[in-house]
A and B are shown apart, each in its own frame.
Chain A
Amino acid sequence: AQSVTQPDIHITVSEGASLELRCNYSYGATPYLFWYVQSPGQGLQLLLKYFSGDTLVQGIKGFEAEFKRSQSSFNLRKPSVHWSDAAEYFCAVGLNTPLVFGKGTRLSVIA
């Protein structure tokens, strides 16, 4: 069965610190991989996607993610977090079937 695990429910980081959000997936083949961000009461915005090719992908707002096939992981990183990055982050996987989402990681940013 296809599944996505985001092990961290809630992470708190200081402004300016680095960030890594974890995502592990279970899928029959190498799927398309996505990270989305959601502000309270809003829809989801795409941060970045991996379809094929270079395993390090760059996204919007200074985020990047690395696909590691051997670990079935697609972790999201940012070198220096800004207060405006506080939000909920979702990892998703799929091919041409409906995407499967993780349960999300809520990011809090402190001064």
Chain B
Amino acid sequence: DGGITQSPKYLFRKEGQNVTLSCEQNLNHDAMYWYRQDPGQGLRLIYYSQIVNDFQKGDIAEGYSVSREKKESFPLTVTSAQKNPTAFYLCATRTEASPLHFGNGTRLTVT
């Protein structure tokens, strides 16, 4: 069954700790994206990758890092430099000239 798996669904961390959110896909899509969602803000692009071993910053990349070592995987690390990390994080994939396909998201709470 093809899809995008984000894990875990809920994540809790103490302030000052780095945390990595997982995103795995078996859709064989080249492009992968990370969006952050806050109430009333819509979706804001953090990072995206169009091919393996390459990625670009989105609109709000500060305090985040990514890697793309495999086509199937695009993990997002929220570092301690991110001022307001508590949010809902969505991973998405896309192939050329197609809509985005979304995972079910990870809700991160940092206290």
On A, residues with C-beta under 8 Å from B are 9, 32, 34, 36, 41-46, 49, 51, 90, 92, 96, 98-99, 101-104
Contacts and interface: CB of A to CB of B under 8 A. Distances in A.
B104 A32 contact: no
A101 B37 CA distance: 11
Question: Which 6 residue pairs of A and B lie closest in terms of their CB atoms, listed nearest first?
Answer: A43-B102, A103-B42, A101-B43, A44-B102, A43-B104, A101-B42
B105 A41 contact: yes
Contacts, number: 48
B84 interface: no
Nearest to B35: A101
A101 B33 CA distance: 13
A49 B97 CA distance: 11
Contacts of A92: 100
B99 A96 contact: no
A9, A51, A99 — which one has the most chain B CB atoms within 10 A of its CB?
A99
